[in-house]
Amino acid sequence: MTQPTRQIVVILCGWAIAASAAGAGAEGKKQPEPGLITATDAIRQAFRMRQAAPLAAALPNPGKIYVSVKIIAAEAGFYSRDQLEALLKQTFATAQTVTFHINIDLSSEDSKDRGVAVCPSVWSYQAHGVRTDLNLRFQLARQQEKWQLVEILEIR
């Protein structure tokens, strides 16, 4: 088993264990808000379908999203909704999604209190004949009962 494959298996096993523990009905475990689930589903759908349109509902308007993912934006920085949609369309035109998995991390009390959620993900894609596995972190913030994407980072 190759190193990237082993890392993905470990990540997926960790997610399965966390999901199993959450599903066991443990008292005191906070479940994600429906709006947060909707926003992460939009991210999942956008990357799996390779279309920016499903993500539109989770993007701030007005506002900017910080992006630091080389395949999406050559330069790290703040991008408007329209700019990010254009960048994603360009990315999805060249990168064929193999798999995309996203999780909602509710472990941080500080994050819950501030209305912020961190969503780690693994995006496997093929571009120019080369398969790449990327660890990404999506950060969403609750703004007036709606969860919006505020940051996309590549994690190394």
Q: What pLDDT, in 10s, does the model give residues 57-89?
A: 999 988 999 999 999 999 999 999 999 999 999
Q: What pLDDT, in 10s, does the model give residues 5-19?
A: 555 554 544 454 444
Question: Does a structural domain hold residue 130?
Answer: yes
Question: What is the reported pLDDT for 106?
Answer: 79
Question: What is the reported pLDDT for 31?
Answer: 80
Q: Count of domains in the chain?
A: 1
Q: In what order do the strands lie in the sheet with 130-143?
A: 77-80, 64-68, 146-155, 130-143, 116-127, 96-102
In which domain, by residue range, is 114 found? Answer: 32-155
Tokens at residue 67, please?
A: 């992006």
- Does the pTM surpass 0.85? The reply is no
Question: Does a structural domain hold residue 139?
Answer: yes
CATH of the domain at 95: 3.10.450.50
Alpha-carbon torsion angle 4, 42, 92, 141, nearest 10: -80
pLDDT classification of 156: cutoffs 50, 70, 90: confident
Q: Which residue has the tokens 């571009």?
A: 127
